[in-house]
Structure 1
């Protein structure tokens, strides 16, 4: 199998992983509140269950990232992590108690931590100028899963049968469905995924191939020239000429010998190289920098607000609009369409403007959304039609800003942190997001009856993040670009 085909199949598999993560979220979220109600769970338990998934992902993300940095092997890490997804969803379909439901999301969340290894792998195997485009494409895959998920949920809610001792109904069917999909994905990973070499090794390999080709062409030209000289060569040759020619040949080593001394760019990581990845690594030097703190703050605020809003949505629609599973599934479907459109637009926009511009656009949208929700959703005004309109505008403005902030901060974070420890760095970034997705549902779950306090905190966080962005805007560029700007300023 040629390298281009291996690369394409590997990226398709990664896209499927993101797709299934979106499908899992979309088929479970619309029904989990009603499921918990059948198990006599209090309203705050919804926040606990949603946060459990993020908690285990928060802890496993840096570990998976560190593992991938040391071994440069992503395939076996994905296979290992998917086992937790399979077991967690199997526990979900059992559905005996609310505590088993909580435990199932904890176990499945461990498998979700593999995204840190995947982002580190993508960082190493893509060029910096293509990174925002690639990240936007894979994030769009997850949103495609959010769109497809509700469509599956429409059919899963019709399930009513027994699978041995387990009752499969509209609440437990999502667990069975996702368990089967993650099992199928294991086979896809085994047969279609390879550990691609880092981009610099790929460039070195291509350069070596071109060099070999040039040497072959040069060698053929020399041979042709020698053949042409042979025709006019005298039968008796001067010893001086022979000695001179021979001394040149004796002092020049064969080309093939020189080439064989170069290490293969596709060779696996040696133990010495693996152990040296973190040799000069300093957490304080890597993460306690102004630009890194701003991007980690963007990660935290974005996911805190997103998960708080998602936790609040289903109780709010039940209270004001009497939405059930079908209506919620349709709502998530439409939301997913909007987000996919946003990611596709960001994918196009990233070729024309820098990440910090995209980040600023996304934050403007999120600020407008939070102010709108604070005014209109905290205490809805008017009749049913007007309240529904207020709800749609507030929620869809929030999810429209999500692609801009997500892609910009992930892509820029991969450029301003060290590439050799990218898996661990992405794990730290994901853990910050995981902490936000823990606190967000807990915050919203306990304040569904006090919307002013809940939305007020979301607005304050966004305003603080916007101020940080404005203050550090000049530093939110690649280190090479920053050095070029500094040199230009010194020269002027």
Structure 2
């Protein structure tokens, strides 16, 4: 099979992975509250169950990312993660007790750790210019799942039968459904996914791939230029110029030239103390901190509001499973529209502009919620309108911030350790999705405190973005050389 066909099938499988993860979230979220009530769980158990899923993902993400960086493979990692999803969703389907349900979400959350490896793989397999578009497409697949999931729930709620000792009803059916979907996906990964070689390897070894047509001059210029400015090749942001180290580790040749060319080693090939030091320095840079803050704050606010949606709609509008599913479905439509806008804007504006637009929308949304949702007033129709506008603004702003910060993060961090870096980024997001539901679930009766804290976090992020705006760009050759010159010499590595 030729390379281009393998690439299309592999990227299609990645799209399915994110699609199914979105479907899982969307079919479970509308019904898990009442499911827990049937198991006599306390109200705080809702936030606990949602946070458990994020907690295991937070811990597994960096580990799987580090594994993929070291081995440069992702297929085995994805197969392992899918196995956790399969077991976790079957446990959710069984549902004998609230503790089994909690354990099922904890186990299924481990499966989300594959995302770190996948984002690292995509970073190594795409050019810098195309990365925002590719990330937007992949993340849109998950949002498509969030759109499809509630629609599927409309039919799953009609289930009422037995499979042996197990009851299949509107609460357990989502677990059984996702159990079957993840089994199908496991087969798709086995037969349709390949660990494609990194872009720099394909260019430096063009004869490695069989049946791959030779690139035109324009294609060579388009693909080679990003590699020539790569952070890895110039010896910074994840690699170190180690001429002295290499000199110390090789025997002297009589014909050696007295002028030594610097040799660059990727981060994962350096000794452990230097690798840890460089990685720590990387995550302490201003632009990286701003992007991690954007990841945390937006997801914290989103999940805090999400956890309030079903209790609020039950309290003020008497919504049940059908109404909640329709609401989530419409919210998914808004998010898909947002990703389409991001896809278009990324062709005309830089990521930092898209990030600023998304943050502006999020600020407007939070102000609206602080004014109208903390203490709804007026008739039923007016309260419903206030609620719809608040949810619409929140879901519209999310794609702008999500895609822009992911794409920028991949450009300001080392490509050689992208799996681990994306794992750290997703863990920061996982921490937000743990604290967000706990914050929202614990303050359902104190809306001013809850939304006020969210507004304060957004103001902080806006100030950080304003002060660091000039640094939120892909490093140029000149900038990387300046950083390289400020790094400590590695001549002490020589033995």
Tell me the distance in 1 between the aligned counterparts of 2:478 and 2:406: 18
Cα shift at 1:345: 1.1
| Residue of structure 2 in register with 1:250 after alignment | none
CA offset digits 1:286-326 (Å, max 9, x no partner): 10010000000000001100100100100000000000000
* Kept after mapping to 2: 8 A contact 1:70/1:277: no
Structure 1 residues 418-457: aligned runs within 5 Å: 418-457=414-453
Cα shift at 1:162: 1.1
CA offset digits 1:57-110 (Å, max 9, x no partner): 000000000000001111111001100000000000001111111000000000
Judged with a 3 Å threshold, the aligned counterparts in structure 2 of structure 1 residues 482 and 402 are, in CA distance, closer, same or farther, namely farther
| Residue of structure 1 in register with 2:47 after alignment | 47
* Kept after mapping to 2: 8 A contact 1:26/1:149: yes
* Kept after mapping to 2: 8 A contact 1:147/1:332: yes
| Residue of structure 2 in register with 1:371 after alignment | 367
Tell me the distance in 2 between the aligned counterparts of 1:323 and 1:39: 20
- Name the count of aligned residue pairs: 429
| Residue of structure 2 in register with 1:280 after alignment | 275
| Residue of structure 1 in register with 2:303 after alignment | 307
| Residue of structure 1 in register with 2:490 after alignment | none
Tell me the distance in 1 between the aligned counterparts of 2:475 and 2:73: 27
| Residue of structure 2 in register with 1:85 after alignment | 85
- Are 1:21 and 2:21 an aligned pair? yes
TM-score of the pair, normalised by structure 2? 0.84
| Residue of structure 2 in register with 1:479 after alignment | 475
Cα shift at 1:273: 9.7
| Residue of structure 1 in register with 2:127 after alignment | 127
Tell me the distance in 2 between the aligned counterparts of 1:479 and 1:162: 59
Structure with bigger gyration radius: 1
Tell me the distance in 1 between the aligned counterparts of 2:5 and 2:51: 39
Gaps of 5+ in 1: 215-271, 488-492
- Are 1:141 and 2:144 an aligned pair? no
| Residue of structure 1 in register with 2:289 after alignment | 293
Tell me the distance in 1 between the aligned counterparts of 2:6 and 2:147: 28
TM-score of the pair, normalised by structure 1? 0.84
| Residue of structure 2 in register with 1:410 after alignment | 406
Q: Secondary structure at the residue paired with 2:205?
A: helix
* Kept after mapping to 2: 8 A contact 1:71/1:274: no
- Are 1:381 and 2:377 an aligned pair? yes
Structure 1 residues 25-424: aligned runs within 5 Å: 25-206=25-206, 276=270, 280-282=275-277, 283-424=279-420
Judged with a 3 Å threshold, the aligned counterparts in structure 2 of structure 1 residues 106 and 375 are, in CA distance, closer, same or farther, namely same
* Kept after mapping to 2: 8 A contact 1:159/1:168: yes
Tell me the distance in 2 between the aligned counterparts of 1:414 and 1:145: 24
* Kept after mapping to 2: 8 A contact 1:277/1:421: no
Cα shift at 1:344: 1.2
Gaps of 5+ in 2: 216-265, 484-495
Tell me the distance in 1 between the aligned counterparts of 2:411 and 2:170: 44
